[in-house]
Amino acid sequence: TIQSLSKGEYFDFKNRHLVWLPLYRLLDISLASITSLFATILPFLLQLIYVIIITNWVVKTYPVAKTNRTLFVLLFWPLPILFAGFNLSESLALILVTYLFILLLKETKPKLFFLQLFLFAALSALTRHEATAFLGMLGVFLFLFKYRKEGVLIISGLFFGLLVFSIWNYSQINEPLFWLSSKFNASGA
Protein backbone atom coordinates (compact mmCIF):
# COMPACT_ATOMS: atom_id res chain seq x y z
CA THR A 1 0.00 0.00 0.00
CA ILE A 2 1.13 3.57 -0.59
CA GLN A 3 0.99 4.52 3.10
CA SER A 4 3.18 1.55 4.06
CA LEU A 5 5.46 2.32 1.14
CA SER A 6 5.98 5.90 2.29
CA LYS A 7 7.08 4.60 5.72
CA GLY A 8 9.47 2.16 4.10
CA GLU A 9 7.43 -0.81 5.34
CA TYR A 10 6.13 -2.66 2.35
CA PHE A 11 5.18 -6.28 2.92
CA ASP A 12 2.94 -8.28 0.69
CA PHE A 13 2.71 -11.83 -0.61
CA LYS A 14 0.85 -13.11 2.44
CA ASN A 15 3.67 -12.20 4.83
CA ARG A 16 6.21 -14.25 2.86
CA HIS A 17 8.63 -11.31 2.55
CA LEU A 18 11.26 -13.20 4.56
CA VAL A 19 11.16 -16.18 2.21
CA TRP A 20 10.74 -14.82 -1.30
CA LEU A 21 13.81 -13.25 -2.81
CA PRO A 22 13.50 -9.47 -2.81
CA LEU A 23 15.26 -7.97 -5.84
CA TYR A 24 12.28 -7.87 -8.21
CA ARG A 25 9.91 -6.52 -5.55
CA LEU A 26 12.46 -3.89 -4.46
CA LEU A 27 12.85 -2.78 -8.08
CA ASP A 28 9.07 -2.65 -8.45
CA ILE A 29 8.64 -0.67 -5.21
CA SER A 30 11.46 1.72 -6.13
CA LEU A 31 9.93 2.46 -9.51
CA ALA A 32 6.46 2.81 -7.96
CA SER A 33 7.80 5.41 -5.55
CA ILE A 34 8.79 7.54 -8.56
CA THR A 35 5.46 7.09 -10.28
CA SER A 36 2.89 4.33 -10.32
CA LEU A 37 3.23 4.20 -14.12
CA PHE A 38 6.69 2.62 -13.80
CA ALA A 39 5.35 -0.18 -11.61
CA THR A 40 2.65 -0.84 -14.18
CA ILE A 41 5.05 -1.06 -17.12
CA LEU A 42 7.93 -2.83 -15.33
CA PRO A 43 7.28 -6.15 -17.11
CA PHE A 44 7.35 -4.34 -20.47
CA LEU A 45 10.57 -2.52 -19.50
CA LEU A 46 12.24 -5.80 -18.58
CA GLN A 47 11.14 -7.33 -21.88
CA LEU A 48 12.55 -4.31 -23.72
CA ILE A 49 15.87 -4.60 -21.86
CA TYR A 50 16.05 -8.28 -22.80
CA VAL A 51 15.44 -7.44 -26.48
CA ILE A 52 18.13 -4.73 -26.42
CA ILE A 53 20.71 -7.01 -24.77
CA ILE A 54 20.08 -9.87 -27.21
CA THR A 55 19.94 -7.63 -30.29
CA ASN A 56 23.17 -5.89 -29.35
CA TRP A 57 24.95 -9.18 -28.72
CA VAL A 58 23.73 -10.93 -31.89
CA VAL A 59 24.52 -7.99 -34.17
CA LYS A 60 28.05 -7.68 -32.74
CA THR A 61 28.75 -11.43 -32.68
CA TYR A 62 27.35 -13.02 -35.81
CA PRO A 63 27.94 -12.27 -39.49
CA VAL A 64 25.09 -10.56 -41.29
CA ALA A 65 23.94 -13.75 -43.04
CA LYS A 66 23.24 -15.53 -39.74
CA THR A 67 22.06 -12.50 -37.80
CA ASN A 68 18.45 -12.51 -39.00
CA ARG A 69 17.76 -16.15 -38.10
CA THR A 70 19.57 -16.07 -34.73
CA LEU A 71 18.04 -12.77 -33.75
CA PHE A 72 14.56 -13.94 -34.68
CA VAL A 73 14.86 -17.07 -32.53
CA LEU A 74 16.28 -15.26 -29.50
CA LEU A 75 13.91 -12.29 -29.62
CA PHE A 76 10.85 -14.48 -29.81
CA TRP A 77 12.07 -17.01 -27.28
CA PRO A 78 8.86 -17.68 -25.33
CA LEU A 79 10.20 -17.43 -21.78
CA PRO A 80 10.80 -13.67 -21.50
CA ILE A 81 7.54 -12.90 -23.26
CA LEU A 82 5.57 -15.23 -21.01
CA PHE A 83 7.21 -14.03 -17.79
CA ALA A 84 6.89 -10.37 -18.74
CA GLY A 85 3.18 -10.91 -19.30
CA PHE A 86 2.73 -12.38 -15.84
CA ASN A 87 4.71 -9.65 -14.03
CA LEU A 88 6.98 -12.23 -12.38
CA SER A 89 10.53 -12.06 -11.09
CA GLU A 90 11.57 -14.67 -13.65
CA SER A 91 11.92 -11.95 -16.29
CA LEU A 92 14.53 -10.12 -14.19
CA ALA A 93 16.35 -13.40 -13.45
CA LEU A 94 16.34 -14.24 -17.16
CA ILE A 95 17.91 -10.88 -18.01
CA LEU A 96 20.63 -11.29 -15.37
CA VAL A 97 21.47 -14.86 -16.41
CA THR A 98 21.40 -13.95 -20.13
CA TYR A 99 23.77 -11.05 -19.57
CA LEU A 100 26.08 -13.26 -17.52
CA PHE A 101 26.14 -15.79 -20.39
CA ILE A 102 26.90 -13.06 -22.90
CA LEU A 103 29.80 -11.90 -20.72
CA LEU A 104 31.19 -15.44 -20.66
CA LEU A 105 30.84 -15.88 -24.43
CA LYS A 106 32.58 -12.66 -25.46
CA GLU A 107 35.91 -13.08 -27.19
CA THR A 108 37.40 -9.99 -25.60
CA LYS A 109 36.55 -9.47 -21.99
CA PRO A 110 35.16 -6.03 -21.08
CA LYS A 111 36.62 -3.83 -18.39
CA LEU A 112 35.60 -4.98 -14.93
CA PHE A 113 34.67 -8.39 -16.39
CA PHE A 114 35.29 -10.27 -13.15
CA LEU A 115 33.42 -7.70 -11.07
CA GLN A 116 30.47 -7.96 -13.47
CA LEU A 117 30.43 -11.77 -13.16
CA PHE A 118 30.38 -11.49 -9.37
CA LEU A 119 27.75 -8.74 -9.34
CA PHE A 120 25.33 -10.39 -11.80
CA ALA A 121 25.63 -13.72 -9.97
CA ALA A 122 24.89 -11.97 -6.64
CA LEU A 123 21.89 -10.15 -8.12
CA SER A 124 20.62 -13.39 -9.65
CA ALA A 125 20.79 -15.02 -6.22
CA LEU A 126 18.52 -12.25 -4.93
CA THR A 127 16.02 -12.78 -7.74
CA ARG A 128 15.12 -16.47 -8.16
CA HIS A 129 16.20 -19.71 -6.47
CA GLU A 130 16.17 -21.43 -9.86
CA ALA A 131 18.67 -18.89 -11.19
CA THR A 132 20.85 -19.53 -8.15
CA ALA A 133 20.78 -23.29 -8.71
CA PHE A 134 21.43 -22.94 -12.44
CA LEU A 135 24.33 -20.52 -11.99
CA GLY A 136 25.73 -22.70 -9.20
CA MET A 137 25.87 -25.64 -11.60
CA LEU A 138 27.39 -23.40 -14.27
CA GLY A 139 30.03 -22.16 -11.80
CA VAL A 140 31.00 -25.72 -10.84
CA PHE A 141 31.10 -26.71 -14.52
CA LEU A 142 33.36 -23.75 -15.37
CA PHE A 143 35.62 -24.52 -12.42
CA LEU A 144 35.99 -28.16 -13.43
CA PHE A 145 36.73 -27.32 -17.06
CA LYS A 146 39.62 -24.92 -16.57
CA TYR A 147 37.74 -21.65 -16.24
CA ARG A 148 38.55 -21.51 -12.56
CA LYS A 149 38.40 -17.74 -12.03
CA GLU A 150 35.03 -17.44 -13.72
CA GLY A 151 33.63 -20.42 -11.81
CA VAL A 152 34.88 -19.16 -8.45
CA LEU A 153 33.53 -15.65 -9.08
CA ILE A 154 30.07 -16.91 -10.06
CA ILE A 155 29.87 -19.18 -7.01
CA SER A 156 31.24 -16.41 -4.76
CA GLY A 157 28.66 -13.99 -6.15
CA LEU A 158 25.87 -16.47 -5.43
CA PHE A 159 27.10 -16.97 -1.87
CA PHE A 160 27.35 -13.21 -1.39
CA GLY A 161 23.77 -12.68 -2.62
CA LEU A 162 22.46 -15.39 -0.30
CA LEU A 163 24.54 -13.97 2.55
CA VAL A 164 22.93 -10.57 2.05
CA PHE A 165 19.47 -12.19 2.12
CA SER A 166 20.40 -14.18 5.23
CA ILE A 167 21.63 -11.06 7.00
CA TRP A 168 18.36 -9.35 6.17
CA ASN A 169 16.43 -12.35 7.56
CA TYR A 170 18.56 -12.16 10.71
CA SER A 171 17.86 -8.45 11.11
CA GLN A 172 14.12 -9.11 10.86
CA ILE A 173 13.61 -12.23 13.03
CA ASN A 174 17.07 -13.25 14.37
CA GLU A 175 17.10 -16.38 12.22
CA PRO A 176 19.47 -16.03 9.25
CA LEU A 177 18.42 -19.21 7.45
CA PHE A 178 14.68 -18.78 7.95
CA TRP A 179 14.23 -18.41 4.18
CA LEU A 180 15.86 -21.80 3.63
CA SER A 181 14.15 -23.70 6.45
CA SER A 182 10.80 -22.24 5.39
CA LYS A 183 11.38 -23.47 1.81
CA PHE A 184 12.15 -26.97 3.10
CA ASN A 185 9.10 -26.98 5.38
CA ALA A 186 6.84 -25.80 2.58
CA SER A 187 8.12 -28.35 0.09
CA GLY A 188 7.98 -31.13 2.74
CA ALA A 189 4.26 -30.62 3.23
User: What integer pLDDT is reported at residue 136 of this predicted model?
Assistant: 95
Q: What is the CA radius of gyration of the chain?
A: 18
User: What integer pLDDT is reported at residue 180 of this predicted model?
Assistant: 78
pLDDT, tens digit, 9 for 90 and up, residues 89-137? 777 888 888 889 888 887 778 889 999 999 999 999 988 888 899 999 9
Q: What dihedral angle (degrees, nearest 10) is formed by the CA atoms of 133, 187, 13, 118?
A: -10
User: What integer pLDDT is reported at residue 108 of this predicted model?
Assistant: 77
User: What integer pLDDT is reported at residue 18 of this predicted model?
Assistant: 61
User: What integer pLDDT is reported at residue 84 of this predicted model?
Assistant: 59
User: What integer pLDDT is reported at residue 121 of this predicted model?
Assistant: 95
CB 185, CB 26: distance < 8 Å? no
* Dist CA 107 CA 144 (whole Å): 20
Instruction: Please identify every stretch of the chain with a pLDDT value under 70, giving residue numbers as ranges.
Output: 1-20, 38-39, 62-87, 186-189
User: What integer pLDDT is reported at residue 2 of this predicted model?
Assistant: 47
